C-alpha cells in the first residue's frame, strides 16, 4: 500500500466514522424548547462538531491502523477475498487441474 492509498483509506474510514458519529448527542431546537421561527424543530441547537471531529479522528486512526496492518502483512489477500466470494471458481494461478 502506497502513501496515496493509505491516505485515501484513512479518508474513507474517517468519513464513514464521522457519519456514524454525527447523530450522537445532538440536542435539537425542539429538545431545548427554543424553536427559531422559520426553522424545523429537529434542527440542531448543540451539535458538538469539534469534539465529534476529534473523536472521529482518534477512532478512525485506530481502525486505519488495523486495516493497514492486515493489508501490509498479507494476512488477507485479494485472492482470499475472491475465494470467499466465488468459492466454485477455478484458481487464478495455475491451470486448475
Question: What residue has cell string 495455475?
Answer: 94
pLDDT for the residue numbered 69: 93
Question: What residue has cell string 462538531?
Answer: 49
Sorted by where each begins, the domain ranges of the chain are 7-21+48-87
- b/e burial code for range 42-55 (CB count within 10 A of at least 16 → b): eeebeebeeebeee
Cell numbers describing residue 51: 469534539
- Check if the beta carbon of residue 68 is closer than 8 Å to that of residue 9: yes
pLDDT per residue rounded down to tens, the chain (97 residues) = 789 999 999 999 999 999 999 888 888 887 777 888 888 887 777 778 899 999 999 999 999 999 999 988 988 887 888 888 887 876 666 555 4
Supply the pTM of this predicted model. 0.72
- Check if the beta carbon of residue 33 is closer than 8 Å to that of residue 15: no
Amino acid at each position: 500500500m502506497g502513501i496515496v492509498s493509505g491516505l485515501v483509506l484513512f479518508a474513507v474510514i474517517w468519513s464513514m466514522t464521522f457519519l456514524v458519529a454525527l447523530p450522537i448527542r445532538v440536542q435539537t431546537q425542539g429538545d431545548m424548547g427554543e424553536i427559531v421561527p422559520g426553522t424545523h424543530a429537529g434542527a440542531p441547537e448543540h451539535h458538538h462538531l469539534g469534539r465529534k471531529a476529534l473523536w472521529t479522528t482518534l477512532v478512525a486512526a485506530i481502525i486505519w491502523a488495523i486495516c493497514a496492518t492486515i493489508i501490509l502483512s498479507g494476512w488477507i489477500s485479494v485472492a482470499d477475498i475472491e475465494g470467499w466470494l466465488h468459492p466454485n471458481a477455478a484458481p487464478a494461478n495455475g491451470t486448475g487441474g
